[in-house]
Amino acid sequence: MKNNKVTPQYTGSCYIGVVGGDNEIGECRDSIEGLQRRNGDTPPLPIRATKGYEARGLHLDRWYNQTQHSFMLLLDHDMRFEPDTLERLRSHKLPYVSGYYLRRRYAPIAPVWFEKGKPGEWPMKPWTGDPERGKLHELGASGWGCIFIHRKVIADMLPLLEGELPILEDDMDLWPYDLGAIMGAIKALRTLTKEKPSPSTLWPAMNEHVTTLEKQIRPLRAVKTPVGSDIRFPFFAAMAGYTLMGDPDVRPAHMLNYPLTPDDYSQTPAETIQKQSEQIQAGVQPERKLIRDARRALK
């Protein structure tokens, strides 16, 4: 039987948002200003803020609610980009794509990507190894420094968030909930204790309101350790049906006192990468056990 399913093609103009502090690096700003753009794309628009997630949230609000651009490209101001960065990301015609770059550190140097992993497994495991070039990779998360998003990702995420902001620092102990529904159920239960109706009325009413609370108060991570917005956002995007794809051939350089590029990681000795991987695995397991135990205790 012929498969007539058509893969959506995501196209359109792009809002370009840049996030950073007051101090700029000339080489980085020049590269951002030099990005190849199409008619209809915005020029790079900077927002400076003390907290990066707040600036990114402002960009998202301006793009999604105040423009008609199909895409948003978010860039960090302390990175050097190749002129074809936007065109490479747009060429995939996908809704959610990350470039490949390194964390802003050098001891040790490490990719900013996270593995996709199993659904619902916390914490996400940092990516180790040099990603194969010439193909896209499914990711669990990435940094915000080079992210390309279609507005449909946001449209499909919003119902899951129950009024929470798409870009937010949070502990993610619970799934987003409808506070009005919770307070309504609590108020109704309190009314039942005051009115003391007959059992034939009481039990169905209690069941309805307790069911509402069970539906709304659902453990997610079940612990109160913080989760960055760069982890939270792709998690909920995935819950809405959008896997973040990583392009290892879009390779911006993170500026330290030296432009740190993925090529530096590619040249790291295999034994060093293996040791890094073992250290990451050893660091991930205790928190995964903590989260598993916390979830189990709430069942």
- Is 3 a member of any domain? no
Q: What pLDDT shows up at residue 2?
A: 43
Domain identity same for 104 and 189: no
Domain identity same for 130 and 272: yes
- Is 190 a member of any domain? yes
- Is 63 a member of any domain? yes
Q: What global pTM score does this model have?
A: 0.86
Is residue 273 within 8 Å of 121, Cβ to Cβ?
no
- Is residue 59's pLDDT more than 60? yes
Q: What is the CATH number of the domain that holds 259?
A: 3.90.550.40
Residues 6 or more apart whose CB falls under 8 angstroms from that of 219 comprise 173, 174, 175, 294, 295, 298
Q: What is the rounded distance in angstroms from the CA atom of residue 250 to the CA atom of residue 31?
A: 14
Domain identity same for 130 and 184: no
Q: For residue 191, give its domain range.
A: 179-216
Q: What is the pLDDT of residues 82-134, one digit of tens each?
A: 999 999 999 999 999 999 999 988 778 899 999 998 888 899 999 998 999 99
| Total number of domains in the chain | 2
Higher pLDDT, 54 or 259: 54
Question: If pLDDT is split at 50, 70 and 90, which confidence band does 148 have?
Answer: very high
- Is 222 a member of any domain? no
Question: If pLDDT is split at 50, 70 and 90, which confidence band does 164 have?
Answer: very high
Domain identity same for 77 and 166: yes
